[in-house]
Amino acid sequence: MERREFIQHLGLGASALGFGAARSAHSAHGAHSAQEPSPVPPTRSERFTLCYAPHFGMFRHHAGENLLDQLRFMRDEGFRALEDNGMPGRDAATQAQIGDELERLGMTMGVFVAHADFSNPSFATADPAARERIAKDMRNAVEIAKRCRARWCTVVPGTLSPRVEPEYQLAWVIDNLRFAAEILEPAGLTMVLEPLNHWSDHAGVFLARVPQAFAICRAVNSPACKILDDLYHQQITEGHLIRNLDRAWSEIAYIQVGDNPGRKEPGTGEIHYGNVFRHLKAKGYTGVVGMEHGNAKPGKEGERALIKAYAAVDPKG
């Protein structure tokens, strides 16, 4: 499934939650009624060393279609974060309900997609209309983040233009990212730029390599503009996963994973995630590791196999 289809697939509404707007309005003020479950105790045992983040639908055969039930299943299995590319497609009440439940469970909200264009040079342009769209998307991201307790949002800065010199495009991308950062920084929200591979998934995108993203983030020079290092994409584009993690470390704020080929859980492809995760632990990484991939096998069997796959490569001790 291509990324744009994946995002659309996750765009579920409030009906999937099984909760009404009344609860959202109440819990938005941080209150918990007597009928609501109490917060999860902080002494809960943990299965994983790193903070892996599944996405909705990954465990639906065990947990059902209700999104909050899926969150509870994730937490019961030891996962401490959620990733939801499709969060902007959910209504405000649903976003708030997800945020409330994440807080109750002691889970972290990972990324949602704030801006992604796979057909147009949305950042690599000086078009005023593009700047207006960026402003709208960033302001919307700030409001979404408040509701669902997010600290990061994904930005894919559009495509290359075949008719303009690359140096001009680079300058425009930096200018537009600085503009976006001015909106996000006061809100404490960080956009993470995701380099995508040209060869299997996203031909023509502007941002494809970690060194390229590193240089751009240094030029933007804002805590609101960092790198999302998706190791699936970078295995295809350039390899040297650990070397690039080390060299770009100061600008990396978020990690995503998926094995290659296939874009499924660790152990189904050629990436040695045991070594990669041990390296992340050794570097003191405490951030989110987004599980942006599919399940290699269907049904409950596939979901249980996925959990075991992460347990097998998690750096214990």
- Tens of pLDDT, residues 248-268: 999 999 999 999 999 999 999
The pair of three-digit structure tokens given for residue 294, joined into one six-digit string: 């599919």
Check residue 12 and give its pLDDT: 41
- Confidence at 72, pLDDT banded by 50, 70, 90: very high
Check residue 270 and give its pLDDT: 98
Tell me whether residue 89 is in a domain: yes
- Tens of pLDDT, residues 207-228: 999 999 999 999 999 999 999 9
CA 89 to chain CA centroid, nearest Å: 15
Check residue 9 and give its pLDDT: 43
Check residue 139 and give its pLDDT: 98
Residue 156 main-chain phi, psi, to 5 deg: -110, 110
Mean pLDDT, residues 11-21 taken together: 41
**Number of domains the chain contains:** 1
Instruction: Residue 131: count other Cβ atoms within 10 Å of its Cβ.
Output: 18
Q: To the nearest whole number, what is the mean pLDDT of the chain?
A: 89
Check residue 257 and give its pLDDT: 98
- Tens of pLDDT, residues 73-116: 999 999 999 999 999 999 999 999 999 999 999 999 999 999 99
CA 163 to chain CA centroid, nearest Å: 32
pTM over 0.85: yes
Tell me whether residue 193 is in a domain: yes
Tell me whether residue 25 is in a domain: no
- Tens of pLDDT, residues 286-317: 999 999 999 999 999 999 999 999 999 999 85
Check residue 44 and give its pLDDT: 45
Tell me whether residue 152 is in a domain: yes
- Tens of pLDDT, residues 21-60: 333 333 333 333 333 445 555 434 578 999 999 999 999 9
- Tens of pLDDT, residues 134-188: 999 999 999 999 999 999 999 999 999 999 999 999 999 999 999 999 999 999 9
Tell me whether residue 27 is in a domain: no
Q: Which residue has the higher pLDDT, 220 or 3?
A: 220
Tell me whether residue 41 is in a domain: no
Name the CA dihedral angle for 114, 288, 146, 8, rounded to a multiple of 10 degrees: 40
* Residue 307: CATH number of its domain: 3.20.20.150
Check residue 46 and give its pLDDT: 78
- What single string gives the DSSP state of each residue in 41-68? PTT---S-SSEEE-BTTTTHHHH-S-HH
Rg (C-alpha) for the chain, rounded Å, is 19
Cα–Cα distance measured from residue 285 to residue 253, given in angstroms and rounded to the nearest whole number: 9
Cα–Cα distance measured from residue 130 to residue 113, given in angstroms and rounded to the nearest whole number: 17
Could you tell me the residue range of the domain that residue 212 belongs to?
A: 3-11+47-313
Check residue 19 and give its pLDDT: 37
Cα–Cα distance measured from residue 96 to residue 28, given in angstroms and rounded to the nearest whole number: 7
